[in-house]
Amino acid sequence: MHLEEKQFDLYFSGEMPQQEKDVFLKKVDVDRELKEKFILIQNAKGISSLQEFKGDEQIALTGWMKFNKIIRNRSFMRISFNVLKYAAVVAALVASTFFLTKHFLSSEKVTYSMVEVPVGKSMAITLSDGTTVNLSPRSTFKYPESFKGKERCVVLDGEAFFNVAKNADKPFIVQTNRYKIKAHGTKFNVFDYMSSPMYEATLLEGVVEIYKDDKQMEPVFLAPYEQVILKDNDLVKNKIDSSYIPVCENGIIAFDSRPFRDIIKKLELYYNINFIITNVNALDKVYTGKFRIQDPVEDVLDALQKTNKFNYAISSDKKIVYIM
CATH of the domain at 199: 2.60.120.1440
Confidence of residue 43 (pLDDT cuts 50, 70, 90): low
pLDDT score of 244 = 59
**In whole angstroms, what is the distance from residue 181 CA to residue 201 CA?**
9
Per-residue confidence (pLDDT) for residue 279, from 0 to 100: 85
- Give the pLDDT band of residue 44 (cuts 50, 70, 90): low
- Are residues 186 and 209 part of one domain? yes
Residue 92 sits in the same domain as residue 103 = no
Within this chain, do residues 217 and 260 fall inside the same structural domain, yes or no? no
DSSP collapsed to 3 states, 217-275 = CCCEEECCCEEEEEECCEEEEEECCCCCCCECCCCEEEEEEEEHHHHHHHHHHHHCCEE
Single-letter code of the amino acid located at 271: Y
Residues 266 and 211 in one domain: no
- Model pLDDT for residues 86-128, shown as the tens digit of each residue: 444 433 333 333 444 444 344 456 788 999 999 888 889 999 9
Residue 286 has pLDDT above 70, yes or no: yes
Distance of CA 57 to CAs 10, 43, 146, 218, Å? Answer: 15, 12, 26, 46
- Among 243, 267, 287, where does a domain finish? 243
Considering the domain architecture, whether residues 165 and 88 belong to the same structural domain is answered as no
Same domain, 233 and 256: no
Please check whether residues 224 and 154 belong to one and the same domain: yes
Which of 194, 212, 243 is where one domain is finished?
A: 243
Query: What was the pLDDT predicted at 291?
Result: 81
d(CA 247, CA 187): 11
| 156 shares its domain with 193 | yes
Dihedral Cα 146, 24, 248, 245, nearest 10 deg: -100
pLDDT value of residue 245: 58
> 2 falls in which pLDDT band (50, 70, 90)?
low
Same domain for 134 and 188, yes or no, is yes
pLDDT at 23: 77
Judge contact between 108 and 148, C-beta under 8 A: yes
- Pick the last residue of a domain from 188, 214, 243: 243
Is 109 in the same domain as 80?
Answer: no
Say which CATH number the domain at 274 has: 3.55.50.30
Q: Please, is 151 exposed, middle or buried when counting C-beta atoms within 10 Å of its C-beta (0-12, 13-18, 19+)?
A: exposed
Least confident of 18-27, 71-80, 162-171, 175-184: 71-80
162 and 76 in a single domain? The answer is no
Residues 116 and 72 in one domain: no
Q: Are strands 111-116 and 140-144 parallel, antiparallel or unpaired?
A: antiparallel
Number of domains in the chain: 3
Neighbours of 147 (CB within 10 A): 19
What is the span of the domain harbouring residue 264?
252-323
